[in-house]
Structure 1
Amino acid sequence: MATALEVTAAQRAGRDLVAPELFDRLVDFCAEEYGLELSVAKRVMDQGLAFLDVMGSTGVGLSPSKQVDPAWHTFMLHSEEYTRWCMERYGRYIHHAPKSRYRDKATMVNVVGKIREAGYEVDESLWGLKADCNAPTCCGDGPCC
């Protein structure tokens, strides 16, 4: 009797969405700006890029965890590269328009699910079970900050 082989495709990595040189520059900036260890900043940028790709590809607005949000801020501050990346990949700019969304478990589970569905590896430790909103990563908007 033949058995079906379980084939798992290699998971995608957010870091592969940009050139290695740009990824390294973003990581260095993120580490310095947010006081992160370099190894943590690499994980944050990887997850942030995967998060942005899911939003850009689907057009669905999502909330990043407070641990991943610095990746978005970091990339946006590299405005030429960020704008070019958005336009080349999605034909539009992905705006960071904070709304007073809560970063509760249900929200993060939904976001992580969408990232996984897109084939990306998820670093669950950066998404948390219940991330508490805090300034400046919450951008000071809404009742959660």
Structure 2
Amino acid sequence: MVDQALAFLGTCAVDGKPLSPSRLVDPEWHAFVLHTREYREFCHRVAGRFIDHVPTDEARAGAGEPAMALHRTVEAIRAAGYVVDPELWFASGQAKCTQCHNGCADDPPPPPAAESTL
């Protein structure tokens, strides 16, 4: 699971799309984040920036979005040249967090609820 979490983070470093780990990969990301100094150094080495861990708001996700996010993430990991372990990605579903805020890490904050188009 550690290698899949590192592949996920390496892909977050180079892919601009919203990505999300699976429920089995996410705990490894959580464990790494708790080692703040090492995590920060890793992020700066592979991404040139800190890769945020952001809980997702299920109410804002559209129907089918979690499955689409997992497929998008797995395809991005493969495109980045990493090996994917399908059992760790598709057996458990999407985790409830991403590296994205409002679409991705560098996006502005989401609009106020009254302006939302979802």
Q: TM-score range by the shorter chain?
A: 0.5 to 0.7
Do the aligned residues in 2 keep the contact of 1:104 with 1:130 (CA within 8 Å)?
no
Do the aligned residues in 1 keep the contact of 2:20 with 2:94 (CA within 8 Å)?
no
Stretches of structure 2 that go unaligned for 5 or more consecutive residues are 98-118
Aligned to 2:74: 112
Do the aligned residues in 1 keep the contact of 2:24 with 2:92 (CA within 8 Å)?
no
Do the aligned residues in 2 keep the contact of 1:108 with 1:129 (CA within 8 Å)?
no
Aligned to 2:83: 121
Matched, 1:49 2:6: yes
Aligned to 2:36: 79
Indicate the structure (1 or 2) with the bigger Cα radius of gyration. 1
Cα 1:87–1:132 shift into 2, 3 Å: closer
Aligned to 1:5: none
Do the aligned residues in 2 keep the contact of 1:112 with 1:122 (CA within 8 Å)?
yes
* Number of equivalent positions: 92
Q: TM-score, normalised by structure 2?
A: 0.68
Q: CA RMSD in A?
A: 2.2
Shift of 1:132: 6.4
Matches within 5 A, 1:1-145: 44-100=1-57, 104-128=66-90, 131=93, 138=96
Q: Compare relative contact order (CA 8 Å, sep 6+) and give the higher one, 1 or 2.
A: 2
Cα 1:105–1:59 shift into 2, 3 Å: closer
Shift of 1:107: 2.0
The separation in 2 between residues aligned to 1:132 and 1:72, in whole angstroms, is 13
Q: TM-score, normalised by structure 1?
A: 0.56
